[in-house]
Amino acid sequence: MGMENPNLPNPSLRPSSAASPFLSSAPVVGSEASVFRPTPQASSQFPTPPFSSGPGVGSQGPTFRPPPPGRPNELVRPTPPPVSSSYGPPTTGFQHFQNPAMHSTGQGAPPLHTGQPVVPPGPPPTGPPAGPMTLAPVPILSQPQPPSIPMRFPDSTKTEQIHTNIPPSQPFSLSRPNVQPSSASMGPSYATGRGAFQPSFPGEANGRPNSVPQAPPMHPSSFSSQQGGYAPPAAASPFLAQQRSYGPAPSITPIGYPGAQMQHHGIAPPTATAQGLAEDFSSLSLGSAPGSFDAGLDAEALPRPLDGDVELKSLADMYPMNCSSTFLRLTTSGIPNSQSLASRWHLSLGAVVCPLAEAPAGEEVPVVNFATTGIIRCKRCRTYVNPYVTFTDNGRKWRCNMCSLLNDVQSDYFAHLDASGRRVDLDQRPELLKGSIELIAPAEYMVRPPMPPLFFFLIDVSISAAKSGVLEVVAQTIKSSLDSLPGYPRTQIGFITYDSTIHFYNMKSSLIQPQMMVISDLDDVFVPLPDDLLVNLSESRNVVEAFLDSLPSMFQDNMNVESAFGPALKAAFTVMSKLGGKVLIFQSTLPSLGVGRLRLRGDDIRVYGTDKEHLWRVPEDPFYKQMAADFTKFQISVNVYAFSDKYTDIASLGTLAKYTGGQVYYYPSFQSSIHKSKLTHELTRDLTRETAWEAVMRIRCSKGVRFTSYHGNFMLRSTDLLALPAVDCDKAYAAQLSLDETLLTTQTVYFQVALLYTSSSGERRIRVHTAAAPVVADLGEMYRLADTGAIVSMFSRLAIEKSLSYKLEDARNAVQIRIVKALREYRNLYAVQHRLSGRMIYPESLKFLPLYGLAFCKSTPLRGGYGDVQLDERSAAGFTMMALPVKKLLKLLYPNLVRVDDLLLKSYPQTDESDIIKMRLPLTVKSLDARGLYIFDDGFRFVIWFGGSISPDIGRKLLGEDFSGDYSKVSLSPRDNDMSIKLSKMLHKFRENDPSYYQLCHLVRQNEQPREGFFLLMNLVDDQNAGGSSYADWIMQLHRQVQQNA
Ligand SMILES: [Zn+2]
């Protein structure tokens, strides 16, 4: 309790900075901790002796053996599961379940022996012919348990049938001490003897031997206390005498005070940089007298990002060997040459990185194998060889672009230089040509054999789950994804279900049906059969399928309202900690029993608006952060799927995802009939997308600049190493940059992202993205090279983090203050010289920034107050946005609105998404014509708006007789007519182009409240709504503030 209060000292749990809740000083995952090496668990919740068997992970059998290096695709067909009787339940044990109490149904819970296997009911009638799930009467001998536990298996009629399928078996002799992981069990390959984090990641060693100790990342409060100033500590006054004497060319369009047009001027003032960059800025006419703003502004003329995310092209022209902006974007590519210049940049200096983004078509990342040569890196700063290194001395030396060290070219990497100084083999060297490459890492980049892909499912089966239909959808989706899970034939899988007790499933391949074992002692969870709870999927495929077929019916009549989530989570940790992997949690109610139980909170409305308000947005129980730290330490990533119609404390649950590189999926009030397709799509993607396992990421940069803080879903392992137990293309991370030196003397700064990971095929790989950016000497250049998308992404993360320590209002204000400061600074550059006093001026590169800022203040994590967004919804959105790649975030903030009725009526040749997107409309109610049909698409959902005067013909063709019905009950399904088919295709195409989430369709009729307001009107960013100003008013506010103290 109270752990979240930033004023309370708790070094082990309280975030010591915005970015690093588990800094190296924390005992949890300290820099001293060798994360790949499961150390004896001082903080473990499972203080038991180590495994007594198994010399190490790598010796657990062929299952855990990666294919030999160099043969990643060699498939080792699994041998047929041995038909062994050694693990079968004994018939004597089985007799126990003849107890008539087992046959009671409903809430009456039949007593069972704790730890004993119990009889799950059989599969549904449609189940496989193999028959019902096998009873697993395994006596757990090692630890006496209370004689009986309450247990209910609703469908007792199946038990008779089950009895017939019990294979002969022998009692287990596995003793409890064997359940625990330990350093000893990991074998020598798991640990190394070096210091700090280098033992864990020899290949990713920190390359700053000469640099000063890293300063701690900035405290979250800097966001407000510095009034938006994320400037480096040595920042000079933002208004120092750095004003450039140049200004835009005087040929500016005459100022029209009342004339309300916006003008973009392509003006090129003289610049100080060698590149001679042109400077663009725009201005907007505004009335200057207070109170007269409305009259002077034409809202329609304001800039809107109707073309989506338009990226800076000039940098790619300047540095064609840079990695694609899909992987790395800088908030400004003009890196300030001095700290005083940096201090005048209020838009956050830094990068947004999406290391595994899906590469643009035709730009697939080449794979490079240095084989016996070894990976070429700078011996001082450990930078990977890249297109910006230079070769000298007839090819015998290469100079590091980061630290300038002259490295020897080893003999087997040597090539002569031609007359122009190019290596003669350059064309065969992707690592010297491409900004993005993927290196095959040799053994020295491993501290243990590459882990197999591992999926563990933790499923709440309490009454809420049974009633909503979640179980059926989850079971079906997992089953249908089995063939597509990455990593065949090494993939591992396991399941735990829970309500007031925890249910384990023995999936050993020799079984025909899984055996279920129930543990009711929640205080000290005993994990039975740890070796058979996690199985090789291809070997145990039949048992896994039998389980998934049975799961929904097993609990369909479950009346248990409790959820022993925390104990189940710890059990999952115990099972997985040997290998790592992904745990997917399906939670349908508030965790109510055992450790980590949560309580209803956030309903005291008086707290809102006070300095305690943020406490509802962070976990109350330190259990969640502690578990997240433990999971990360053992390479386990957590994804949370939450379904409740009531408060579930997503703030706490999501913490597990936040610090383990995971993701939160939220389906409030899940109903299978409505949400099935969304859950199916998103779970399928989660299971089947390419995943990088046991990863760490570091972003290097040239001497003189330094990344100081990181923002996203991960845990910081040392000052600059991000621990990412699992990464995929849908995850992005932001990092803020500051200048180490007062003055940069170089002309270019380089960045290099290195992600060291294990691929699903069992290869250790390093993905390397390299980019260069010019060092600039004036603020105008920084503005000109600004990237609104990266800035918005950074701002969003900073503001969401701020909302975890401050009031929502403070977080919103901080966004506004930063924009104002930036615009004011820009104004100081140009306005005076050109007598633009009555105009709002802004850089062309940032023309959408104010609008995105407004959209962000109206977004779910920051919007309004208590009554505007439910607490869980707010938390879930915050966790989601912290991980979104830039384009996805921009679309969420300023969604697509298109009118489609004309397209449906006309014989439109084909549904070409790119054409339709060109018809995007401003997000205002003025865009809506009562005769039209519109699609609103924010990437997470579609809202289909039917105008009040829409042709009944269109309505009937799309909805049939439901056209005049209650749209909350109507779903859009394809009908047998051109128009309906065309609309379906269009939506399908939209989804195909934006696949990370599934967009459910919500139908809305004009003036049908509150539905129209909730789904559409509230999200029309340009209008006054969601507790926020209209776009025009917002611009007025900004302008007024910019002029103050200008
Ligand atoms: Zn170097």
Residue-wise DSSP of 382-444: -PBP-TT-EEEGGGTEEE-TTT--EEEPPGGG---B-TTS-BTTGGG-GGGT-SEEEEEP-GG
pLDDT by residue (tens digit) across 745-793? 999 999 999 999 999 999 999 999 999 999 999 999 999 999 999 999 9
The low-confidence residues of the chain, meaning pLDDT below 50, are 1-280, 287-295
Q: Separation of 369 CA from ligand 1 center, angstroms?
A: 21
Residue type (1 letter), 598:
L
CA–CA distances in Å: residue 915 to residues 601, 691, 887, 918: 48, 33, 18, 5
Q: Give the separation between CA 432 and CA 770, rounded to whole angstroms.
A: 11
Distance between CA 15 and CA 5 in Å, rounded? Answer: 10
Nearest to 500 by CA among 844, 152, 797, 775: 152
Longest dimension (CA), the chain: 97
In angstroms, what is the span from residue 735 Cα to ligand 1's centroid? 21
- Counts for the chain of helices (H) and strands (E), in that order: 26, 33
How far does the centroid of ligand 1 lie from the alpha carbon of residue 705, in Å?
A: 14
Predicted pLDDT of residue 284? 61
Distance between Cα 380 and ligand 1 center (Å): 5
Inter-axis angle of helices 788-803 and 871-881, nearest 10: 140
Q: What angle do CA 773, 779, 781 make, to 5 degrees?
A: 45
Rounded Cα gap, residues 962 and 937, in angstroms: 23
CA–centroid distance, residue 401 to ligand 1 (Å):
7
> 409: CA distance to ligand 1 center in Å?
13
Q: How far is the CA of 382 from the centre of ligand 1 (A)?
A: 6
Residue 384 CA to ligand 1 center (angstroms) comes to: 9
Q: Ligand 1 centroid vs 743 CA: distance in angstroms?
A: 20
What distance in Å separates the CA atoms of residue 485 and residue 14, rounded to the nearest whole number?
37
For position 959, what pLDDT does the model report?
A: 92
Distance 745 CA to ligand 1 centre (A): 17
Going from the Cα of 278 to the center of ligand 1, the distance in angstroms, rounded, reads 32
Task: Measure 636 CA to ligand 1 centroid, in angstroms.
Answer: 33
Q: What's the 404 CA to ligand 1 centre distance in angstroms?
A: 6
Alpha-carbon distances of 439 from 72, 203, 431, 754, 875, rounded to whole Å: 13, 12, 9, 10, 38
Reported as a single tens digit per residue, the pLDDT across 500-528 is 999 999 999 999 999 999 999 998 888 88
> Separation of 581 CA from ligand 1 center, angstroms?
34
Residue 285: the pLDDT is 55
Separation between Cα atoms, residue 231 and residue 739, nearest integer Å: 9
As a whole number of angstroms, the distance between CA 99 and CA 111 comes to 9
Gap from CA of 219 to ligand 1 centroid (Å): 30
CA of 383 to the centre of ligand 1 (A): 6
Distance 407 CA to ligand 1 centre (A): 8
Strands 636-642 and 581-587, by their bridges, are parallel
d(CA 463, CA 452): 34
Cα(253) to ligand 1 centroid in Å equals 49
Ligand 1 centroid from CA 352, angstroms: 23
A 10 A CB-CB count for 816 gives 19
752 CA → ligand 1 middle, Å: 11
Ligand 1 centroid, distance to 196 Cα (angstroms): 21
DSSP state of 142: S
Residue 796 belongs to what H/E stretch?
Answer: helix 788-803
What is the distance between the alpha carbons of residues 435 and 384, in angstroms, rounded to a whole number?
11
In SS3 terms, 963-981 reads as HHCCHHHCCCCCCCCHHHH
- Which tokens go with 695? 């990863």
Ligand 1 center to 381 CA (angstroms): 4
End-to-end CA gap in the chain: 46
Question: Residues near 163 by Cβ (< 8 Å), separated by ≥ 6?
Answer: 94, 97, 135
Tell me how far the alpha carbon of residue 266 lies from the centroid of ligand 1, in angstroms: 40
CA 756 vs. chain centroid, Å, equals 18
Say how many residues make up the chain.
1046
Give dist(CA 595, CA 568) in Å, integer: 10
C-alpha separations of 88 from 479, 526, 624, 634, 675 in Å = 25, 20, 37, 31, 39
Measured in Å, residue 388 CA sits from the centre of ligand 1 at 12
Q: How far is CA 566 from the centre of its chain?
A: 23
CA of 207 to the centre of ligand 1 (A): 8
Round to whole Å and give the CA distance between 922 and 413: 56
- Exposure class string for 65-84: b at 16+ Cβ within 10 A, else e: bbbebeebeeeeebeebeee
* pLDDT tens, residue by residue, 299-317: 888 899 998 887 777 777 8
Contact 439, 368 (CB under 8 A): yes
For residue 748, how far is its CA from the centre of ligand 1 (angstroms)? 15
Identify the DSSP state of 1022: T
Residue 701 Cα to ligand 1 middle (Å): 10
Q: Give 149 Cα–ligand 1 centroid separation in angstroms.
A: 63
**Which residues have C-beta within 8 Å of that of residue 71, sequence separation ≥ 6?**
none
Q: How far is the CA of 771 from the centre of ligand 1 (A)?
A: 15
Q: Residue 943 has which token pair?
A: 């809202």
Distance 194 CA to ligand 1 centre (A): 22
CA of 635 to the centre of ligand 1 (A): 30
Q: Which token pair is 521?
A: 């002692």
Q: Are 549 and 124 in contact (CB under 8 A)?
A: yes
Burial of 705 (0-12, 13-18, 19+ CB in 10 A): buried
Q: How far is the CA of 712 from the centre of ligand 1 (A)?
A: 28
Ligand 1 centroid, distance to 389 Cα (angstroms): 9
The candidate with the shortest Cα–Cα distance to 654, out of 871, 438, 448, is 871
Q: Which two tokens stand for residue 790?
A: 């990266």
Partnered with residue 519 across adjacent β-strands are: 502
CA of 419 to the centre of ligand 1 (A): 26
Ligand 1 centroid to residue 315 C-alpha, Å: 24
Q: How far apart are CA 1017 and CA 936, in angstroms?
A: 11
Rounded to the nearest integer, the mean pLDDT of the chain is 76
Ligand 1 centre from 750 Cα, in Å? 11
323 Cα to the center of ligand 1, angstroms:
19
Q: How many CB atoms lie within 10 A of CB 835?
A: 11
Residue 787 CA to ligand 1 centre (angstroms) = 28
Q: What is the pLDDT of residue 916?
A: 76
Residue at token pair 């570091």: 698
pTM of the entire structure?
0.76
Ligand 1 centroid to 353 CA: how many Å?
21
55 Cα–ligand 1 center, Å: 39
DSSP 8-state class, residue 726: E
User: What number of CA atoms fall less than 13 Å from residue 300's CA on the CB side?
Assistant: 5
Angle at 46 between CA 44 and CA 51, to 5 degrees: 110
Return the SS3 of 904: helix
What is the rounded distance in angstroms from the CA atom of residue 1021 to the CA atom of residue 1030? 7
Q: Per the structure block, which two tokens stand in for 487?
A: 């990593």
> SS3 sequence, 471-512?
HHHHHHHHHHHHHHCCCCCCCEEEEEEECCCEEEEECCCCCC
How far from the centroid of its chain's Cα atoms is residue 207's Cα?
27
- Rounded CA-CA distance 380/206 in Å is 10
How far apart CA 112 and CA 110 sit, in angstroms, is 6
Q: What phi and psi, each to the nearest 5 degrees, are found at residue 421?
A: 85, 5
Long-range contacts of 606-613, Cβ-Cβ distance < 8 Å, separation of 24 or more: 608/865, 608/866, 609/807, 609/809, 609/865, 610/807, 611/806, 611/807, 613/807, 613/808
Cα 32 to middle of ligand 1, angstroms: 25
Task: Please report, as a single letter, which amino acid is at residue 273.
Answer: T
Which stretch of DSSP H or E encloses residue 891?
A: helix 886-893
Tokens coding 35: 């994360």
**The pLDDT value given to residue 25:** 30
